[in-house]
A and B are shown apart, each in its own frame.
Chain A
Amino acid sequence: MRTTGRQLLLITILGWGVALLLFFPIFWMVLTSFKSEVAAIEVPPRLLFTPTLESYAEVQARADYLHFALNSVIVSVGGTVLALALGIPAAYAMAFHPTRRTRSTLLWMLSTKMLPSVGVLVPIYLLFRTFGLLDSRAGLVVIYALMNLPIVVWMLFTFFKEVPGEILEAGRMDGARTGAEFWHLLLPLTVPGIASTGLLSLILCWNEAFWSLNLTSSEAAPLTAFIASFSSPQGLFFAKLSAASTVAVAPILVFGWLSQRQLVRGLTFGAVK
């Protein structure tokens, strides 16, 4: 079926429309961060105003941004590396040495994502207290890895399934052991898949707020806790909250922008099979 010029135009307009709609909240957040608190609550809101950096100055004065940002980097990277370290062997075993129960195991893993986090808050909190993991980066790394493990295993499993088993078999015929088979054959073939899985896990860790707010207080608190501290039950805070959110999402936004090709491939993989 050929696409006519008019259809192409319509699709382009629709695509831009959806993109702008999705981008609008971020645009509005950045815009609000440059307004004064009184201007931020004006009804109807103004598009043209005298920009001010006072909210950024206030945010900087009230909290140590770098401390929170460093924690975000450590727990996101740590959580992702641990999830990959556990997920790669699991996905390998399931993709190339399936058993009768592999499918159900995969489904069961995914089903754990359907449980609302708050349902296990108290048991996890008690475990963390017992093992001295409250307000520690190590604790968050473990919880983030476990939280993303089902998605990581599922994505890697799909990528590994794409690799013809015959290639690995040929390697084995030539005397390659499991380690060599993985490093020299499977890894080079699936690097893009592993990279996009890692990227997605990284973004999910960066944006995670429930566990980071509940399990950390000051030492290990990441940027999500930094943002939460600017939301207020009293007084005007929209401009400050927008400024805090802007500086918190900026690193991951730039990172996502630079790696969008890998990310899109990861997210749409298998969709066009």
Chain B
Amino acid sequence: MAMRRIAIAFAAAIVAAWPMATLHAQSTLTIATVNNGDMVVMQRLSARFEQQHPAIRLRWVVLEENVLRQRVTTDIATRAGQFDIMTIGNYEVPIWARQGWLSALENLPAEYDVNDILAPVRAGISHENKLYALPFYAESAMTYYRTDLLQRAGVTMPAEPTYAQIREIAEKVTDKANQVYGLCLRGKPGWGENMGFLTPLVTAFGGQWFDAQWRPRIDTPQWRSAIGWYTDAMRQFGPPGATSNGFNENLALMAGGRCGIWIDATVAAGLLFDPKQSQVADRIGFAPMPTGEFTGGPTWLWSWNLAIPATSRQQDAARTFITWATSKEYVRMVAQENGWVAVPPGTRQSTYDSQEYQQAAPFAGFVQRAIMSANPNAQTREPRPYTGAQFVAIPEYQGIGTQVGQTIASTLTGAPVEQALRSAQSATDRAMRQAGYPK
């Protein structure tokens, strides 16, 4: 009898507690993100988000860029649903949106002010006029140089340099005896590494990846001139072991005072001008990305964005978080915590309108202009069937770009340019035919 009474009381307690348990049920969002300074700040500040939204808990999976890419691609392609929010680039967003892998972000709240997001950035993460991700930071590319070294060599950086002028300056600045190298460029093979720089270089020399019928156009005079310029300049004025140098390694060289000129992403400006991270913070000058014989082609635009996979079972909670992390208020919060120079750049007009930001970051207006004028969809000299400035926006490009990157990297260590381009042409031709192009 006593046992029965206890059982009834126990059941009643469970029934009574059920609504309370439901009331306090928490959504746990798993967020896959890349390990960079801005994301680390976001991770730290997200404690405030959890305070404001007690029903949402956040779990972070922080990974290096290449590992992250492999991890989230496997997950989304198999519809495994491990993540509620993914950090992806503007290369992935339109491709994944077309596959139906991402949730469209429509009817965002008025206070989010979606029109405040810079137009080229917004265009890069839209598919059929719908947003599929929200940008966390964005970048274009620019030329950094050491004002003191150029002055000592008696040369000045033109307001809009050409690749030919860059070579001349690099030659005058190089002082190998004192380990000062005139020109630092990406040499590490990879579609997001050396090819990120070389694709716009080839465009500036009048070349392109594919013609209108998707036939590779690598073994052409334009590619030969562009890669010839690169190989020749890097062999003569570049640092030793350049095939190991990607963005980070060149940043380290430039910040350590070993480079005269470095052409790379605008996001490096915040790091090079920060005395805590750079030994030459007071001696950095900047100019636009150099131009070649062909101007007006597609220009570099990259953004890291937060997107919600269609498989996430917590769409509303995920949306609440990504609108918080990419909002104007968030930018102000970072400014209060770490100073205006550290706010995520490149995404919002309101950031560039801020007087404080303009004062703290001397490069702010310059970067804004670079991003506003960036047009990854512009045409190359000959018509092309694809978009993208520093990449080709097709799924096959990850593999093709990396393979061609490896072939071109070999020219820095002595392989003839003509032979490398012939081999890259036939490898790309094979890969495209296997992938069923022209589609």
Interface residues of A (CB under 8 A from B): 37-38, 41-43, 62-63, 121-122, 125-126, 128-129, 134-135, 213-214, 217-218, 221, 225, 228-237
Provided the pairs A125-B74, A213-B71, A237-B35 are in contact, do residues A43 and B256 lie with their beta carbons within 8 angstroms?
A: yes
A236 touches B78 (CB 8 A): no
A228 touches B82 (CB 8 A): no
B40 touches A62 (CB 8 A): yes
Name the residue on A nearest B37 (C-beta).
A235
A217 touches B83 (CB 8 A): yes
**How far, in angstroms, from A213 to B67 measured CA to CA in the complex?**
8
Residues of B within 8 A of A232 (CB): 34-37, 64, 248
* Segment of B55-63, B99-107, B348-356 engaged in the interface with chain A: B55-63
Residues of A within 8 A of B44 (CB): 62
A217 touches B32 (CB 8 A): yes
Question: Does B279 sit within 8 A of A, measured CB to CB?
Answer: yes
Beyond contacts A221-B61, A235-B271: 5 other A-B pairs, Cβ-Cβ < 8 A, are A126-B80, A129-B81, A233-B64, A234-B248, A235-B36
Interface residues of B (CB under 8 A from A): 30, 32, 34-37, 40, 43-44, 59-65, 67, 70-71, 74-75, 78, 80-83, 179, 247-248, 251-253, 255-256, 258, 267, 271, 276-279
Provided the pairs A233-B34, A237-B35 are in contact, do residues A43 and B253 lie with their beta carbons within 8 angstroms?
A: yes
> Shortest CB–CB separation between residue A234 and chain B, in angstroms?
4
Provided the pairs A41-B252, A125-B78, A235-B271 are in contact, do residues A217 and B30 lie with their beta carbons within 8 angstroms?
A: yes
**How far, in angstroms, from A128 to B30 measured CA to CA in the complex?**
18
A62 touches B43 (CB 8 A): yes
CB < 8 Å: which of B43, B78, B253, B279 contacts A122?
Answer: B78
Residues of B within 8 A of A236 (CB): 248, 251-252, 255, 271, 277
Name the residue on B nearest A118 (C-beta).
B70
**How far, in angstroms, from A42 to B34 measured CA to CA in the complex?**
25
> Shortest CB–CB separation between residue B301 and chain A, in angstroms?
16
Residues of B within 8 A of A213 (CB): 63, 67, 71
Indicate the member of A38, A62, A235 with the most B CB atoms within 10 Å. A235
Residues of B within 8 A of A134 (CB): 80, 82
In the A-B complex, list the 3 residue pairs whose CB atoms are closest, starting with the nearest. A233-B65, A231-B64, A229-B62
> Shortest CB–CB separation between residue A52 and chain B, in angstroms?
13
CB < 8 Å: which of A63, A126, A217, A234 contacts B247?
Answer: A234
A229 touches B35 (CB 8 A): yes
CB < 8 Å: which of B65, B75, B256 contacts A42?
Answer: B256
**How far, in angstroms, from A38 to B81 measured CA to CA in the complex?**
39
Name the residue on A nearest B61 (C-beta).
A217
Provided the pairs A38-B255, A217-B83 are in contact, do residues A229 and B43 lie with their beta carbons within 8 angstroms?
A: no
Name the residue on A nearest B66 (C-beta).
A233
> Shortest CB–CB separation between residue A157 and chain B, in angstroms?
35
CB < 8 Å: which of A38, A63, A125 contacts B277?
Answer: A38
> Shortest CB–CB separation between residue B435 and chain A, in angstroms?
18
24 A-B residue contacts at CB 8 Å?
A38-B276, A42-B256, A125-B80, A126-B80, A129-B78, A129-B81, A213-B63, A214-B70, A214-B71, A214-B74, A218-B30, A221-B61, A228-B63, A228-B64, A228-B67, A229-B35, A229-B64, A231-B35, A231-B64, A233-B64, A233-B247, A234-B248, A235-B37, A235-B271
Residues of B within 8 A of A129 (CB): 78, 80-81
CB < 8 Å: which of B61, B70, B80 contacts A218?
Answer: B61
Residues of A within 8 A of B82 (CB): 134-135, 217
**How far, in angstroms, from A68 to B264 measured CA to CA in the complex?**
36
> Shortest CB–CB separation between residue B338 and chain A, in angstroms?
13
**How far, in angstroms, from A213 to B60 measured CA to CA in the complex?**
14
Residues of B within 8 A of A233 (CB): 34-36, 64-65, 247-248
Name the residue on A nearest B270 (C-beta).
A235
A235 touches B30 (CB 8 A): no
Provided the pairs A62-B40, A229-B62, A235-B277 are in contact, do residues A41 and B255 lie with their beta carbons within 8 angstroms?
A: yes
A234 touches B36 (CB 8 A): yes
